[in-house]
Structure 1
Amino acid sequence: MLDPSSSGDPYIALSYRWGPSPRLLLLSSSMDEFLLGKPIEDLPRTFQDLAVIARKFCIQYIWIDALCILQDSKEDWHIQALTMRQVYSHAAFTVAASASTDEDGGLFRRRDPSSVFPSIVRLPSCTSPITNTFRIFERDYWDRNILAGPLHKRGWVFQERHLSPRVLYFTATQIFWECFEEAKCESFPKEIPFHFSDKNLSTLWDFAEAKGVLPRNHSDNESVMPMAVYSVWRDLAKQYSHCSLTKASDKFPAFAGIAKLFQEITGDVYVAGLWQSRFLEGLDWRVTEPVSKASSEYRAPSWSWASVDGPFRPLLPGAIFEHLVELMTVTVQPDGLDPTGCIGYLTLRGSLFRARLKSELQDGYWEVEVHPGGQLGAGSKPFEVQIQFWLDYQGIDIHYGKILYFLPLNSTLKEVQFEMVAEVVFLVLNPLGKGDHLQLTCSRIGHFIITQRRTLKHFGFQEQEDGLMVLSLGQEYSTVLIK
């Protein structure tokens, strides 16, 4: 299909939730029928309502994914999925069917207009004869009306909202408006109180303006993504992880438009959900409430947050911080036509510890026998420690006698109750096949954190003058290949 942004004519894009059995789709067999024309009254209710809005704004074209992408062609789907960045960013505005669970739910609702406005309470003043007027509304007004609706839990909608310069939301009670700078609604036509839109990408635009570029492809791979820009990316990825997808394989494609936006502006290289210039920072993502994998099919390397389902927390380095691994190589190759979804291999150099699980305690704690240097032998004196594991997903088999490997990832100082506390993050690695501790092939299955200095000293850490815990000199290092 043609890229709608290439014609220069204004168009409206639709953001809506598909039903379980869509009754009208563009298929190879129905292409000729669509080209001959189809009465608007034969379309699903939401599509019909969108035509009413287009007429109201005197806009001739609309973009609806079910009617603009061949739904029985994987090749066309992959090609069109890569254009979502252009489709939504170049639309005059996007209409969001926020209150509908499927394409027949429609946009318009019957309602009592007076019920839309905030309640007004008038109370006498204690100090003057003037009566004070107060408006009562919920502080999370936006979340209750928009984000809590059925549409915005859908993974594909996330980038549709954030890429669109303007969004018109049709909720169950009123119309909302959002652009990159403001958010308004019928109840609050000037601005919604106490609401700061996470759609505000001013940090990204400011960076583009400072570089003197507009969003476009360019090469500047040697520069490091500014921490302020990386922080925006981190927040978006974190929010996206709370969304659901019908197909687990859509994890990369449904976020590809946002990735392309950052890639075009920063010139950085996108690597399976991480960025080349901030790769080591990107490895520090944590799952605290693991869920089962939606599919057993390979989707992403285990070191990428895209390999897990459910919410995760990507962490930012603190003011006093040190990486404890060295990036040797990272290799990714596209999975099919989509360059954002890939098979990847990562090689790190770091201090590796071999561990044998002994007894399970409670709340995720295990008694663990740890061997410094990652090997079992007379030259290494093992020690026992209690560790609370945070696994990346449910269903991981850990049991008595199982051998795992621990890889210190980073060390930082954090203020906890007005006291600086040293924190070291370890990756939990599951060995794949037989391997030498000096050259191990494994997959990531979780993480854990140690803050007790005494325990860290068992692992070969020592305290610096600033309080940061770092690995002692002379520590043995290994090469770790993570799939």
Structure 2
Amino acid sequence: MYCNVCIAAFRDRADGFLEFGTQISIAHHKTFQSLKASSAVGCVICHYLWRDLVVDASFSEWVESRIKTELDQTPVCTKIDSHDPESAESELSNYATNILLFKADEGDEKLDVKVKLNYIPRNTEPNVASNYGIFFLDPVSDKTSKYRVSGDCTWSESSIQKAKVWMEDCINNHKACGKPDTGNWAPTRVLDLYSYGGGDGNIQLVIPAEECKDALGPYAALSYIWGGQQSIRLSSDTIASFRQGISGTLLPKTFREAIQVCQHFSIRYLWIDALCILQDSHEDWLSEAAKMDKVYAHSHLTIAAAASHNPADGLFRHRDPVFVSPADNPIAVDITGVYEYWSDDEVFRDQGSSHGQQKLAMFYAVPKDDGILRSPLTQRGWCLQERLLSPRLLGFGQDQIYWECTQTSAVETGCPARTWPKTATPDLKARFRNPGDGSFLEMEDQGKRDPYLLWGEIVEMYCRTRLTKQTDRLVALSGLVKAYSTYINDIYVGGMWKRSLESELMWFKEHGIGEAASSTDYICPSFLWASASLPCNLGIEPRVKPRYPLLFDVVDLQLVYATKDATGGVTGGHMDVRGTVVEVRLSAGTYKGWDAIDLMDRAGRPIQAPTEKNHVYFFYPDRMLTVGAGEENARPFYLLLGGEFFEYYDDDPAAPGERSGAKAARQANRHCSWILLEAVENQRGVYRRLGMLHTTQGFWEKDGEEIDSSWHVVHLSSLGDEVPNRGREGDKYIIRIV
């Protein structure tokens, strides 16, 4: 069913709307009280939005506090005047939620809907607000909506059969996935489920190299969240008894239910890190962590406890099929003003301005299950390599099961599933696991794909996850690195690759997510992206052939590794670079994320253009940086010129003073990227990275020469004062970054 608020908003746009080019923003719930009430009575749309909000404990607390605020002072929401865009945009922000209605992706015959929050908690990633309540509207045909589930549990008979269909289809028909491993490799230790029977049976820890004369046979791996101290774990004290047998009654719920899944697929062996790695031996942990790529890559199936916060939560969830499936009845939607761009579908053809006559069409509101993206497990740092390395993964979400293999992704309802972030390459897993014939570099030369950009995607996704131990930032990628290194003919250096090193060193952090962004604990050298606290929004673009010239080069790089494994943690090191370095001062303030900033020279004079419109300095700090009011003229900072490119506006009119008939001058912008540094005390020429600075400088240009100096911003590299260095070659310095 649908609530009256949703019906009125979709059908009549009752409280008004605003047109944004290809999308319509419609006023929805005025308060969170109203949203909560609609969810309680069973509105499909509001139920999904409310559930998404309260799944996260911090959001649940925040939403309830918003409701208390509303009880004291109800927001003033007036009807939106769509003829006054400026006023309408302001009025829309007074509503607790808005509906964004727009045409679906290219080649799709549907509409997309986002129920957008207008308020979000502090320290929340800005994009989070637009990631809730995502639906598509499926046009009504002669048949009812096909997106259905049955059974009141995520491991009901219908769920089991769906999982078996996915598995059989993958094994029998998916060339990209390959046949299951037949036992050429086995983990150091696995759990033998042969004698388990029911919940009170025993499992046994076995060491294949010692106990299996033949190949081990298929095994499954469990991906889950530890969530604190384990109730049962392998140690030097328990290994002997575990080899004799472990009673099923001692196992937490997630482990027991993972065994049930294995039994349904006739998989005899199961790998669980807590029971297969000595938890009191750092040496064993390091040894087994180095094999993580093989553990998941050779597994027959990875079982993912996606909705669980700890092993006691279990895999299986009770559910109401009514709320997992679309509503039985369609909803009327006013599609006027939803522009046609890609499809000839009759529903959308020739739609004009939304100020015209109302045009209604009937749709089923189908939830886009992107709960996988926000599931507790997917937000865990270690999970990314487990997902990418596993040939087949069966995930247990809050409302339904889902499937990932190299060739396909699916959810139980059959709805289009968002299993990877929108920014990710659609075939990310396939690209990672099956690069094709020949090396990545050969394919790059053929223009087929760029392995370095793919690595950048992986790093950006990884940096949005969380780690219990920040020291694991590079260790939790070690398995991916080992797999990747078999495809790419390059040397791995602390999260980066040598051939694209200079471009990767230009990484920047837009902002952190939560309090971890302010951490100052030393993890690794400051020039590595792994020095940034997770989670964060990191930007990195690895390229062997950069899009624009890079104006520095690395002359020496030394890293100190935590172990002999160079794909693991880095505990120290330095990098010597050659480039243009200038000394500046920063305006006083506290910088937490992307922000505009003022720069001064050594004497404290502003470095800026004659007009305010003609200079922009943007700062991306790696961590929170405070410049005190008394420090802005006394505390030196340094800028290493990273890269430079020019943007020209050929159609701009001639600059003032150009005579008629002469070749017109053109306006241009000079964009520069700088690495912001501070000097390390008592070590001449040694610096520590603090972030990235982007400068834009406008000028007029004719025949390659800058004209009209009133438009020219002083180029930072012309400041010219000598800076502490370890050597000099012409106008470039050699400095060390630690």
Q: What interval of TM-score do these two structures reach, taking the shorter chain for normalisation?
A: 0.7 to 0.9
Partner residue in 2 for 1:231:
453
Contact 1:406 1:427 in 2 (8 A): yes
Measure the CA separation in 1 of the matches of 2:689 and 2:714. Answer: 21
Partner residue in 2 for 1:374:
none
- Of residues 348, 361, 365, the one that matches 1:136 is 365
Contact 2:279 2:285 in 1 (8 A): yes
Deviations 1:329-380 (A, max 9, x none): 1112311344222222111100111224465599552341158xxxxxxxxx
Letter of the 2:624 counterpart: Q
- Of residues 675, 678, 684, the one that matches 1:430 is 678
Measure the CA separation in 1 of the matches of 2:499 and 2:480. Answer: 17
Q: Which has the higher strand share?
A: 1
Structure number with higher relative contact order (C-alpha < 8 Å, ≥ 6 residues apart): 1
Instruction: Tell me how far 1:47 sits from its aligned partner.
Output: 0.4
Partner residue in 2 for 1:210:
438
- Of residues 235, 249, 256, the one that matches 1:41 is 249
Give the greater-gyration-radius structure (CA): 2
Contact 1:292 1:393 in 2 (8 A): no
Contact 2:388 2:432 in 1 (8 A): no
Letter of the 2:556 counterpart: T
- Of residues 242, 252, 265, the one that matches 2:464 is 242
Letter of the 2:524 counterpart: A
Identity %: 27
Measure the CA separation in 2 of the matches of 1:415 and 1:361. Answer: 34
Partner residue in 2 for 1:321:
548
Instruction: Tell me how far 1:194 sits from its aligned partner.
Output: 10
Per the alignment, do residues 226 and 404 of structure 1 end up closer, same or farther by CA in structure 2, a change over 3 Å counting? Answer: farther
Measure the CA separation in 2 of the matches of 1:420 and 1:52. Answer: 65
Letter of the 1:250 counterpart: D
Higher mean C-alpha displacement, 259-268 vs 284-293: 284-293
Measure the CA separation in 2 of the matches of 1:44 and 1:361. Answer: 46
Measure the CA separation in 2 of the matches of 1:169 and 1:78. Answer: 27
- Of residues 379, 394, 406, the one that matches 1:153 is 379
Measure the CA separation in 1 of the matches of 2:516 and 2:269. Answer: 42
Measure the CA separation in 1 of the matches of 2:324 and 2:406. Answer: 24
What SS does structure 2 have at the residue aligned with 1:254?
helix
Per the alignment, do residues 166 and 351 of structure 1 end up closer, same or farther by CA in structure 2, a change over 3 Å counting? Answer: same
Deviations 1:207-264 (A, max 9, x none): 4423399xxxxxx9xx999972111110110011111111111111111111112111
Per the alignment, do residues 25 and 435 of structure 1 end up closer, same or farther by CA in structure 2, a change over 3 Å counting? Answer: closer
Per the alignment, do residues 347 and 226 of structure 1 end up closer, same or farther by CA in structure 2, a change over 3 Å counting? Answer: farther
Measure the CA separation in 2 of the matches of 1:22 and 1:206. Answer: 36
Measure the CA separation in 1 of the matches of 2:412 and 2:453. Answer: 32
Partner residue in 2 for 1:369:
601
| Count of matched residue pairs | 444
Contact 1:393 1:445 in 2 (8 A): yes
Deviations 1:189-222 (A, max 9, x none): 7x64898775633444564423399xxxxxx9xx
Per the alignment, do residues 202 and 279 of structure 1 end up closer, same or farther by CA in structure 2, a change over 3 Å counting? Answer: same
Per the alignment, do residues 211 and 71 of structure 1 end up closer, same or farther by CA in structure 2, a change over 3 Å counting? Answer: same
Deviations 1:246-288 (A, max 9, x none): 1111111111111112111102111011100100111011112
Partner residue in 2 for 1:187:
413
Partner residue in 1 for 2:204:
none
Measure the CA separation in 2 of the matches of 1:224 and 1:268. Answer: 18
RMSD: 3.6
Partner residue in 2 for 1:480:
735
Instruction: Tell me how far 1:297 sits from its aligned partner.
Output: 4.6
Per the alignment, do residues 69 and 408 of structure 1 end up closer, same or farther by CA in structure 2, a change over 3 Å counting? Answer: same
Higher mean C-alpha displacement, 77-86 vs 260-269: 260-269
User: TM-score of the superposition, structure 2-length normalised?
Assistant: 0.55
User: Gaps (5+ residues) in structure 2?
Assistant: 1-186, 191-207, 210-214, 335-345, 348-359, 609-616, 652-666, 699-711, 720-728
* Correspondence 1:384 to 2:610: no
What SS does structure 1 have at the residue aligned with 2:386?
helix
Partner residue in 1 for 2:272:
64
Per the alignment, do residues 430 and 59 of structure 1 end up closer, same or farther by CA in structure 2, a change over 3 Å counting? Answer: same
Contact 2:500 2:542 in 1 (8 A): no
Partner residue in 2 for 1:170:
396
Instruction: Tell me how far 1:9 sits from its aligned partner.
Output: 1.5
User: Gaps (5+ residues) in structure 1?
Assistant: 214-219, 372-381, 462-473
Contact 1:79 1:337 in 2 (8 A): no
Per the alignment, do residues 422 and 203 of structure 1 end up closer, same or farther by CA in structure 2, a change over 3 Å counting? Answer: farther
Contact 2:302 2:392 in 1 (8 A): yes
What SS does structure 1 have at the residue aligned with 2:387?
helix
Contact 2:677 2:689 in 1 (8 A): yes
Partner residue in 2 for 1:347:
576
Contact 2:373 2:418 in 1 (8 A): no
Partner residue in 2 for 1:201:
429
* Correspondence 1:52 to 2:260: yes
1:302-313 mapped onto 2 (5 Å cutoff):
302-309=526-533, 310-311=535-536, 312-313=538-539
Instruction: Tell me how far 1:459 sits from its aligned partner.
Output: 2.5
Measure the CA separation in 1 of the matches of 2:531 and 2:250. Answer: 41
Partner residue in 1 for 2:114:
none
Contact 1:99 1:151 in 2 (8 A): yes
Partner residue in 2 for 1:443:
688
Higher mean C-alpha displacement, 446-455 vs 110-119: 110-119
Measure the CA separation in 2 of the matches of 1:331 and 1:174. Answer: 48
Instruction: Tell me how far 1:421 sits from its aligned partner.
Output: 4.4
Letter of the 1:409 counterpart: G
Per the alignment, do residues 416 and 59 of structure 1 end up closer, same or farther by CA in structure 2, a change over 3 Å counting? Answer: farther
Per the alignment, do residues 71 and 266 of structure 1 end up closer, same or farther by CA in structure 2, a change over 3 Å counting? Answer: same
- Of residues 239, 245, 248, the one that matches 1:31 is 239
